[in-house]
Amino acid sequence: MKPRFVLDAWAVLALLQKEEPAASRVKQLLEETGKGNVELFISVINLGEVYYCIGKAKGESEARETLDDIRRLSLTVVPVTDEAVFNAARLKMSYAISYADAFAAAAAEELDAVLVSGDPELEQLEDRIRLEKLERK
């Protein structure tokens, strides 16, 4: 089985905003996915978070264009099922994380994947999921 990674919104925003060194790592994962060496995922909830962050900063038109660009990447969007909602809710009950971050963590847990993020809140989940911490400058 290929190594699996789940990106959270933070990781995708780092790529879009060219925030190094995190952006280079996300780009590397996308390249490896394109070569068929790894599988890369994002929860639709986290994709929605990227959409609203871009929309709030640059307007809805730019958010739509960004969403179209992201959908062309070698990235599988994980849909929200009832099971995913309640798995995320259980994580949110137990950890001081955002609800959107709970979806990223739940996706990583469900897919037996490494969660890729620079969000320090997620470090408290290291006893439960594998986490790759992206660095900020």
pLDDT at 136: 77
Domain boundaries, the chain: 4-133
Interatomic CA distance for residues 71 and 130, integer angstroms: 25
Interatomic CA distance for residues 133 and 78, integer angstroms: 21
The residue with tokens 């037996």 is: 112
**What does DSSP say about strands 114-117 and 4-7: parallel, antiparallel, or unpaired?**
parallel
pLDDT at 1: 87
pLDDT at 6: 98
Following CA atoms 77, 127, 93, 99 in sequence, which dihedral angle do they give, to the nearest 10 degrees?
-30
User: Which mean pLDDT values do the consecutive 10-residue runs of the chain (137 residues) have?
Assistant: 96 96 97 96 97 97 96 94 96 96 97 96 94 90
pTM above 0.85, yes or no: yes
Among 3.40.50.1010, 3.40.640.10, 1.10.10.10, 3.20.20.370, name the CATH number for the domain at 4-133: 3.40.50.1010
Task: Judge if the upstream peptide bond of residue 21 is cis by omega within 30 degrees of 0.
Answer: yes
Interatomic CA distance for residues 1 and 85, integer angstroms: 26
Interatomic CA distance for residues 10 and 133, integer angstroms: 11
pLDDT at 50: 97
pLDDT at 103: 98
